[in-house]
Structure 1
Amino acid sequence: MVYQITFGNLEAVLKSTDILARGMRMLNTAVIGSTCMTMDDTIADSRSAMSCRSVKTFVVREVDLAMVTVNRSLGRMTVLGRMASQLIEDALFPLERRFFIVFDLLNRKAA
């Protein structure tokens, strides 16, 4: 019985580690993609700033751009945050399931 519990626990840890490794690769790709999108946005915004002919139009454009940049950043941050929290839930699921199985086995044995 101890062997089965230990083997099951080891399987749960390995599965959880595998899920976490794959999820971290996916999250890393998403962060790199978000960074590239931000760089592209910055380059496009800089090009449009160079087309301003007066200080007034430049200031108005920068004020509008600040709001757009904050909205873009919040959107990307929200997506990455959701991905990270989902990854944590997915990685912990095998361990949680195994914990309840072992807890149930020990309760039956004690009763």
Structure 2
Amino acid sequence: MDKILMNGMEFYGYHGLFPEENKLGQRFYVDVELLTDLKTAGKSDNMIDSIDYGHVYELVKEIVEGEPKNLVEAVAESIADRLLSSFGLLSACTVKITKPDPPIPGHYQSVAVEIFRGKSV
């Protein structure tokens, strides 16, 4: 299966368990891997045969910058659901959300969740 990769999309959202996260917000980085057959698009050179990256970006932005959720797991699930329902050519996707500054003690670069979802046959 071919892939379209969109890496390091950066958004500002209000997701988290703590009230200060919902009030102050924070940065989130999102990577998506879209599994689809790109052979037709490669031969036709026509956007109708592929997945519009700009549309993907706007859908992800709408979710991450939209309604606050307690868990980044729920944000990732919303993104995957929306991508799979919005693009007929999409077979499956991987969504990774990185939270670089979570309000938890310790020394680390970031925390992240990554999910893989496919269309039901």
TM-score computed with the length of structure 1 as normaliser: 0.30
Structure of greater Rg: 1
Identify the structure with bigger relative contact order (alpha carbons < 8 Å, sequence gap 6+): 1
TM-score computed with the length of structure 2 as normaliser: 0.28
Higher strand share: 2
